[in-house]
């Protein structure tokens, strides 16, 4: 049996394994956590999040004059097992800490190592202020990690 292939891997809103959440209409947010979307780890790979892995996101509202979220809006990444019974929070911070894509020194790094096995999920949440909105289709994000493939080996 060959050695599994370990390569850089990144997830974003265009990933085929990402399911986008629903928009919240202008002025309709209740100030509670809202699902931005979920990524399900495909069969045959394990996503490894290292201490060098980062999360960056750009979040936008759906108001008459669309704008970027306020810096203080909470953002959370949860990791669920395949059954959805076990949920672990992997990042729990504010939008200001995750909104920089360009400067690697300002991106939000994960503070612990973990693996996302096939059929497990990562879910991204935010809490827009009451009376606000979220335009999920105008938002984007990136999570970096390492992919270890069981299907391909050398």
Please tell me the pTM assigned to this model. 0.90
Question: How far is 64 from 146, CA to CA, in rounded Å?
Answer: 40
Domain-by-domain residue ranges, the chain? Answer: 4-153
What would the pLDDT profile of 18-77 be if each residue is shown by its tens digit? Answer: 999 999 998 888 888 999 999 999 998 999 999 999 999 999 998 888 899 999 999 999
Question: How far is 67 from 17, CA to CA, in rounded Å?
Answer: 27
Token digits of residue 31: 């100030």
End-to-end CA distance of the chain: 9
Question: How far is 60 from 120, CA to CA, in rounded Å?
Answer: 27
Residue 103, Cβ density class (10 Å: 0-12 exposed, 13-18 middle, ≥19 buried): exposed
What would the pLDDT profile of 74-92 be if each residue is shown by its tens digit? Answer: 999 999 998 888 999 999 9
Domain 4-153 has what CATH class? mainly beta
Determine the Cα angle at 11 with ends 150 and 30, to 5°. 130
């Amino acid at each position: 049996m060959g050695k599994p292939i370990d390569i850089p891997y990144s997830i974003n809103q265009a990933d085929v394994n990402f399911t986008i959440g629903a928009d919240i209409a202008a002025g309709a947010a209740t100030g509670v956590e809202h699902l931005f979307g979920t990524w399900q780890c495909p069969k045959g790979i394990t996503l490894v999040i290292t201490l060098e892995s980062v999360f960056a996101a750009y979040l936008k509202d759906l108001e008459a004059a669309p704008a970027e979220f306020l810096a203080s809006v909470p953002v959370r990444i949860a990791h669920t097992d395949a059954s959805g019974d076990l949920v672990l929070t992997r990042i729990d911070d504010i939008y200001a800490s995750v909104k920089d894509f360009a400067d690697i020194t300002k991106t939000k790094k994960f503070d612990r190592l973990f693996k996302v096995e096939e059929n497990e999920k990562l879910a991204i949440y935010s809490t827009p202020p009451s009376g606000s909105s979220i335009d999920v289709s105008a938002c984007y994000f990136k999570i970096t990690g390492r992919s270890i493939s069981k299907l391909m080996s050398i």
